[in-house]
Amino acid sequence: MILPLAALALAESTGRAPTIPFTRYELPNGLDVTLAPDHSVPFACVNVWYDVGSKDESPGRSGFAHLFEHLMFNGSKHHDDEFFKPLQPLGARLNGSTNLDRTNYYECLPAEQLPLAMFLEADRMGWLLPALTAEKLQNQKDVVRNERRQNYDNPPYGQAWIELLKNTFPEGHPYHIATIGRHEEIEAATLDDVSAFFRKWYLPNNASLVLSGDFDEATARQLVDTYFAPIPRAEQPVHPAPVPASFEAEKRVRVADDVPFDRVWITWHSPALFAPGDAELDLLSSALADGKDSRLYKALVIDQQIAQDVSARQNSLAQQSFYVIEATASAGHTAEELVVAIDKVLAEVRAEGVTAEDLDVGRTAYEVQFFAQITTIQGKADLLNNYNTRTGDPGYMGKDLDRYRLATVDGVNAALREWLPPDRRLVLVIGPEAK
């Protein structure tokens, strides 16, 4: 646990943000290090974020960031074997993930095994390439392409995320292509291609390391020096410059699929993560679609019964976000009926505004989710790394919470009117073939 439950309850009741004790410093090679001791359980976590995601891929080389997530588990110079093999018998929890903006890896395991996890993590950060072979690369290309088939190509409505990004952000925009990548570009990847990607982005000076859990801080510093300090830094990579996208008019796209019902996604461009308006749109989502009393759910699912489900969310990204309202039509109803009904609700909310009660419900829901995350050392480590990578401050938690606690009704209503205009948006429909 990050804090005793009594401390969490006190933070919630007084309105004060909880604090995570930590020490942050930087190695000479540029690696950001954050130490967050927590002796509540005999467990420890190693958490590494690399500031690279699919937005950083070169043209014609989509899927590389995610492909590399897989390659990082296939062995390194001083442990040329599966990464999972020595850790799983210890009861460790470990994995990695990639998105448009970042790639992360973590290992959580009994505290006395912390040196093993740090050795393995440092070895693949500094010495992956000597163990990377054409055979390993081909194997993981096949795995990634099969993952795309299973998660995107074959499931009902599986193409939605790919189509949303493709049609929300124009060709050449860093967010135009989904992280999973394109089949032909993944298959075309060579050993030289992926080695160059690693040398550019997988650097200590482009990474953030967080240790959380049951350890002595002085001992942890020694372990960091032993395993990570010898890794050489390299030229700091440069991210693609933000290219703000915008809709000049409504854009409509329909994709035929082997599905029984129409499903619609209405999308607008919105402010980046932590930018003004980002938190307000999160709170708006609660008023629109969280719970049976929310505006969209009550209108579409309960009253009119034209939708099976409806949701609203702010997809927060580092350079530019996008806001989505999604709904699935009930039997005998169409996407166009859903769009008309959604527009009617939005027009009413624009005219009347959300209420103070709406705002309180949204704030409470966000804080419940937030406090749930920080009750584990794994959640704490990931939160610290998120803040450090995105803001340069692992202790950004109080400022983050304040974005929601200090939000006003006027601010949420202004965000709705500014960012969700009725005439500049994408309407994407995935539905059955016309008969």
pLDDT tens per residue, range 352-366: 999 999 999 999 999
* DSSP-derived secondary structure for 271-285: PPTTSTTHHHHHHHH
Reduced to 3 DSSP states, what percent helix, strand and coil does the chain have, rounded to the nearest 5? 45, 20, 35
Query: What number is the average pLDDT over the span 76-96?
Result: 96
- Fold for 21-227, please state it: Cytochrome Bc1 Complex; Chain A, domain 1 (3.30.830)
Q: Residue 198 pLDDT > 90, yes or no?
A: yes
Superfamily in which the 251-431 domain is placed by CATH: Metalloenzyme, LuxS/M16 peptidase-like (3.30.830.10)
Token pair, residue 179, equals 């992280």
| C-alpha to C-alpha distance for 47 and 363, rounded to whole angstroms | 29
Q: Residue 10 pLDDT > 60, yes or no?
A: no
Domains 21-227 and 251-431 share a fold: yes
- The whole-number pLDDT of residue 268 equals 98
Closest-CA residue to 409 (of 367, 351, 355, 366) = 355
Residue with tokens 């000049």: 248
Q: Residue 246 pLDDT > 70, yes or no?
A: yes
Q: What is the mean pLDDT of the chain?
A: 94
Query: What number is the average pLDDT over the span 170-191?
Result: 96
Give the phi and the psi of residue 35 in degrees, each rounded to 5: -110, 125
Closest-CA residue to 319 (of 426, 427, 169) = 169
Q: Residue 18 pLDDT > 90, yes or no?
A: no
Q: pLDDT band at 135, cuts 50/70/90?
A: very high
Which residue did the predictor score with more confidence, 435 or 175?
A: 175
pLDDT tens per residue, range 26-51: 999 999 999 999 999 999 999 999 99
| C-alpha to C-alpha distance for 78 and 88, rounded to whole angstroms | 19
- Cβ within 8 Å of residue 67, ≥6 positions away: 140, 141, 144, 181, 186, 189, 194
Q: pLDDT band at 101, cuts 50/70/90?
A: very high
Residue with tokens 């801080």: 217
Query: 389-397: long-range contacts at Cβ-Cβ below 8 A with a sequence spacing of 24 or more?
Result: 389/49, 389/51, 389/102, 389/208, 390/273, 390/274, 390/318, 391/274, 394/20, 394/22, 394/24, 394/34, 394/36, 394/210, 395/19, 395/20, 395/22, 397/17, 397/18, 397/19, 397/20
Q: What single-letter amino acid sits at 76? A: S
Class of residue 110 by CB neighbours under 10 A (exposed 0-12, middle 13-18, buried 19+): middle
pLDDT tens per residue, range 201-212: 999 999 999 999
- Longest Cα pair distance anywhere in the chain, in angstroms? 70
Give the SS3 label for residue 207: strand
| C-alpha to C-alpha distance for 118 and 124, rounded to whole angstroms | 10
| C-alpha to C-alpha distance for 281 and 419, rounded to whole angstroms | 9
| Domain spans in the chain, listed from the N-terminal domain onward | 21-227, 251-431
Q: pLDDT band at 25, cuts 50/70/90?
A: very high
Q: Are 132 and 194 in contact (CB under 8 A)?
A: yes
Give the phi and the psi of residue 357 in degrees, each rounded to 5: -65, -45
- The whole-number pLDDT of residue 434 equals 72
pLDDT tens per residue, range 176-185: 999 999 999 9
R_g (Cα) of the chain, nearest Å: 23
pLDDT tens per residue, range 374-428: 999 999 999 999 999 999 999 999 999 999 999 999 999 999 999 999 999 999 9
Q: How far is CA 251 from the centre of its chain?
A: 26
pLDDT tens per residue, range 253-269: 999 999 999 999 999 99
| C-alpha to C-alpha distance for 408 and 116, rounded to whole angstroms | 48
Q: Are 74 and 142 in contact (CB under 8 A)?
A: no
Beta strands 321-329; 23-26: pairing state:
unpaired
pLDDT tens per residue, range 299-341: 999 999 999 999 999 999 999 999 999 999 999 999 999 999 9
Q: Which helix (H) or strand (E) holds 50?
A: strand 43-50
Q: Output the pTM of the full model.
A: 0.93
- The whole-number pLDDT of residue 17 equals 72
